[in-house]
Each structure stands twice: as C-alpha cells, then as structure tokens.
Amino acid sequence: MFGGGRKAAGLDVGSYQVKAVELRKAGSKLELLHLGVADVFPGGDRGAAGNSDPFELKLGAIQRAMQQSGIKTRHTVSAVSGESIIVRYIQLPDMPEAELKNALRWEAEEYIPFSIDEVNLDSVVLGPSSTQGKVDVLLVSARKDLVSEHVQLLRAADLIPIIVDVEGFAFLNCFEVNYQPSAEECVCLLNIGAEVSSINIYVGNTSRFSRDVGVAGNTLTQSVAQRCQIPFGKAEQLKVAVGAGDPMPDEDELGEDDALISTIRGTVERITGSDLGDDSAEAAATKGVENALQQLIGEVRRSIQFFEGQSGGRTVQRVIAGGGTSRLRNLAPYFQAELDLPVEVFDPLRNITVSRDVDPGLLEQHREQLGTVIGLGLRKVLD
C-alpha cells in the first residue's frame, strides 16, 4: 500500500510479539543478516500488563526488537491483518490497466462490506479468466483506520514505513522463495498467529483463495484456561506441555475389544460433554486444546471445500502450517489425521542461509514464527 525503492527491514508487529529482520541477496543466495524478537506483554503474559496502553506496549516492543536485531535502517516493510482485511477474487472485462483501476472502485462496492471511502484498495490482475473476454483480479481492501493506526505506531518508533502489506501474502511470499513450488502444485498455507490465523490457497504460482479467521493460538490457551480454571499465563505453559494429543489410531489397528471400548467411550463423551476416566489437569488441558483445534480445523476444511467447489477441478494436495502454534507437539499429525491430507510444518529459512551475527538460540526458539517477517524482509531484497 506504500511503495519505495530503499533497503528496508522486515517488521512483523504481532499482537503478542514483534519480530524484526534484515536480509540481503548475494548473487543467487539469500542470507538472514539480523534478527530481533520482543514480547509485547511483560514475560509474554497479557495479564501482567494490567491497564497499560496497548499502543505504548507495542511501541516499546518495536523499539526493543529493532535494538536487539542491530538493524540500522529506519525504513520498514510491515503488514496488517485481521477481519477488516477483505480479499476477494473477481472477474472483470479485459481492459487496459488504467481503465481497470478506475473500474475497480465501482466494482468493489459490491464485494467490500465497508464504505469505499473508509478503505484503502489495491488489486492485481492474475491472468485470463476461464470466461472468455474476462480477467481474474485479486482485490484487497483494508480499513483506513487500521492502516493509519499501524503507520502511526511505526512513526512513533522513529521508523519510516515504505510498504504496508497483508500478513497472509507476506507468508505466501516466504513460501514461494523457500519451496519454489511448480505451477501445478495446489497448497493450503496456514499461518497460525496469536489472535489471527491466515488461510491462503496457492495454485498456479499465485494466491487463489485467502481469508483471516479469529481462531488462533490464543483460542487454544483460553480454552485450556477455561477448562482448567487457571490464569492465562499458566494455561499457555500447560498448552505447550500437553500439545495436540496423539491422533486416534484407525479402528483396524485396534483389537476388537479395544475398538468397541473406544467407540462406546467416544459416544458417551459426546452425549455427556465430559471426559471419562483421567481427570488430571493434563487430561483437561489436552481436551481444551483439542476443542479449539477442532474449531480451526473446521475453518480450514470449509476454506478448502469452498475453494475446490469454485476451482474447476483443482484440489488441495497438501497443507503447510506455520506460526508459533505450528510448534505445538503433534500438531502436524493431528491435522493430517483430521483433514486427510499431508501436513508439514513450515520452514521459513529452508532456502536462506543465516549470518553468524544471528543468535542461534534466538533463531531456534522462534524459527517457525518467522514466516511473515521473512516474507516482509524479502520484499525489497527481491525488487
């Protein structure tokens, strides 16, 4: 939404963490030069923040992340996310680009649930449509107040925003560089943040479906907190400890008696809404995590079904999950069993070398969370 031709840092301003990176390109190789990570809330615990101003908390986290990283440039590429970001895939008559831009403002009113005067609009022509004489267009809108608040935050940190992107597309950019998918691949990218999960279906070297949902890492933690009647901070620790649980074995892998007991137990639990047997905190937390994961899986499944219903025969071949929650123990096999698709955890540095100046402990701790910020950092490096 903002452009420029300068060297810039990638800056991911999340609801719980801020991440800053700087990359460079030397020949055909990409290198991560600098990395900084800072919690928005003291100790990562939202409850510890009390009545502190969220703007000031994020501002402090930005300053700490930039200082820790050692990045010198003040120019940044950052992103916004959330349900006020609207992405639509539409068909328009084939026309010169200047005319298309003018037509989009009027066409957008049909697809955007906000007043056109309240949003920033951008678009990309994806190519010829399956309908003769038309082109497929990616239409993106973001509420002006969301972008304005984001830019105000960066400027308060004495930074200069040169690009404000959408998180889901930054994650996709990182995927393209690291996985170099073929034109035939159809992949569902799932970036699970703290408050928002981005679902993006990539096919034919471009995005063909994108949406943000409000089921994410915090949803899991809150589910554990409610089920175990414990504070959010302790629930976060317990969530990490128990993970996603073990995928249920297929019935043909169980003995006859085991399969019957499992079926009866599952039926009674569904009817009563309570667990049978283990009443430990770990068992309750596992159930809380699984309940929240089922919500997210439902959103992913509906997104895939909608895409496949509109795609003219294209089917999703695999799911790649990133973000902090992708580190959760057993998450990939759990999703794989539920979605009946191959699922793998995203590596945002698969095709990128790392400088000796980057703290290896910090990198190991946050590697899976770097998809968005690496994608942002690549924007100017690849120009």
Q: Is residue 206 part of a domain?
A: yes
Domain that holds residue 198: 181-346
What pTM was estimated for this model as a whole? 0.85
User: 314 in helix, strand or coil?
Assistant: coil
Question: 45 and 193: one domain?
Answer: no
Q: Between 301 and 46, where is the model more confident?
A: 301
Same domain, 246 and 375: no
Specify if 114 maps to a domain: no
pLDDT surpasses 60 at 290: yes
Checking if the pLDDT of 228 tops 80, the result is: yes
Name 119's Cβ contacts closer than 8 Å, sequence gap at least 6.
Answer: 86, 112, 141, 142, 143, 144
- The arithmetic mean of pLDDT across residues 38-55, rounded, is 79
- Structural domain includes residue 274: yes
- The reply to whether 310 and 291 lie within a common domain is yes
CA distance linking residue 198 with residue 5, whole number of Å: 28
pLDDT of residue 305: 96
Kindly provide the b/e burial profile for residues 348-361, where b requires at least 16 CB atoms within 10 angstroms of the residue's own CB.
Answer: bbeebeeeeebeee
Shared domain for 169 and 313, answered yes or no, is no
- With respect to residue 109, please indicate whether it lies within any of the assigned structural domains: no
Q: Dump pLDDT digits (tens) for 234-247.
A: 999 999 999 987 76
**Is there a single domain that holds both residue 154 and residue 242?**
no
Are 372 and 174 within 8 A, CB to CB?
yes
- Tell me the CATH number at 169: 3.30.420.40
Same domain, 164 and 213: no
Q: Do both 185 and 221 map to the same domain?
A: yes
